[in-house]
Amino acid sequence: MAAVPEPGRCPLLGAARGAYEAAFGGAAAVAAWAPGRVNLIGEHTDYNDGFVLPMALQLGTVLVGSATQDGTISIVTTAPGADEPHRVQFPAPTQSLPLSPGRPNWANYVKGVIQHYRGGPVPGFNAVIASDVPLGGGLSSSASLEVATYTFLQQLCPDDGDLVAKALACQQAEHTFAGMPCGIMDQFISVMGKENHALLIDCRSLDAVPVPLHDASLAVLITNSNVRHALTGSEYPARRRQCQEAAAALGRTTLRDVTMAELEASRSQLDEEVYRRARHVVGEIERTTRAAQALRDGDYVTFGMLMVESHNSLRDDFAVSCPELDQLVAAALEVDGVYGSRMTGGGFGGCTVTLLVAEAAERAQQHIQEKYSGTATFYITRPSDGAKVLPL
């Protein structure tokens, strides 16, 4: 597999415009695109005020559409895997009649963003969604839909253009309309992504430092396990609570303020499972800043070693990996030219990310597929810019 097309030239846009004409007649007036992401390291640290190091993908979600005069919002999705029905219609929200979540599920991300939009009032509009981010694959299909929706609305009724506030509004949409108490990483990178760079994001201050990632001898290989275990919905909030419990037991607001030495000294006061969750987070925050420095230094060996430590910690202490992800990581690490590999995203399925010498990419894919009990999908992608308006 898989060279990923540039968004401007991406077939998504043509397909979305065609679908718009078929659904609504006439041509769409505006188009917006927002990327999915892969996190290189810094997992389950964002909601602990820690550091993350994601990059925006060339895979993303497009919204094309036009404002209407009748106060009705009509949206069609063409995204593969979206639940039925694929067309929804509802009145644009007012103060007295706000939107609320319901079915189908995919529409909740759009409704949530409309409800939390910072400009407005949002007029009626027709729109079509198209996406090439695998749904539920751990590459932030949800954040990419949220941020694409927000970017689309900015064309219809501009807000003040504050990008951090935009990411936060999209996160709120996910909390309140999708019931997922996510951190800020996915929405932030989808808004702020920078071509040829990963971003070291401080999830407390929301400062982000670009870290160059455009060495032609290097490749980032994403491997989709194509499994998603049902636990995800309940386990994520459970991990969040355990992290809060650990921080509170140590007299801190978040685990960002806890050192490994303090954690070790307090081990006997903590429930063993809670201690292990905290050990992952405190270790991962430190690994992430070290990994960013290693990337800046071109020290891929250290970076790869930190990726493997991260995976082991997510598997053993944070308990969010699964046999399929462990298999994919183990297989990747057997390939000559691989620096490191780890699960990426929330866990319980989804994808792994592997850093490797570019010329090893072909044989890595072959070897991983041979060793994997399921069917994997591979993506090689460069870091992309964040959300943008697409010219029509």
Q: Does 349 bind ligand GAF (CB under 6 A)?
A: no
The number of C-alpha atoms within 13 Å of 256 and in the hemisphere containing its C-beta is 18
Cα 65 to Cα 231: distance, rounded to the nearest angstrom: 36
Closest separation in Å from C-beta 148 to ligand GAF: 16
Closest separation in Å from C-beta 21 to ligand GAF: 34
Closest separation in Å from C-beta 246 to ligand GAF: 16
Q: Does 47 bind ligand GAF (CB under 6 A)?
A: yes
Helix/strand/coil for 199: strand
From 19, 30, 56, 222, select the one nearest 144 (Cα to Cα).
Answer: 56
Catalytic residue among 46, 49, 186, 317: 186
Q: Which is nearer to ligand GAF, 90 or 318 (CB)?
A: 318
Task: Write the DSSP string, 98-158.
Answer: -----SSHHHHHHHHHHHH-SS-----EEEEEEE-SPTTSSS-HHHHHHHHHHHHHHHHS-
Q: Does 49 bind ligand GAF (CB under 6 A)?
A: no
Q: Of 32, 36, 44, 307, which lies in the binding site for ligand GAF, with binding defined by CB under 6 A?
A: 44
Closest separation in Å from C-beta 319 to ligand GAF: 13
Site string for ligand GAF, 172-211 (x = CB under 6 A): ----------xx-xx-------------------------
Q: Does 46 bind ligand GAF (CB under 6 A)?
A: yes
Closest separation in Å from C-beta 143 to ligand GAF: 7
**Residue 98: Cβ-neighbour burial (10 angstroms; 0-12, 13-18, 19+):** exposed
With CB under 6 A, what is the number of residues at the site for ligand GAF? 10
Q: Which is nearer to ligand GAF, 46 or 49 (CB)?
A: 46
Q: Specify whether the CB–CB gap between 129 and 62 falls below 8 A.
A: yes
Cα 71 to Cα 93: distance, rounded to the nearest angstrom: 9
Cα 215 to Cα 339: distance, rounded to the nearest angstrom: 14
Catalytic-residue membership of 186: yes
Q: Which is nearer to ligand GAF, 36 or 124 (CB)?
A: 36
The amino acid sitting at 39 is N
Measured in degrees and rounded to the nearest 5, phi and psi for residue 305 equal -65, -40
- Catalytic positions are 186
Q: Which residues bind ligand GAF (CB under 6 A)?
A: 43-44, 46-47, 182-183, 185-186, 345-346
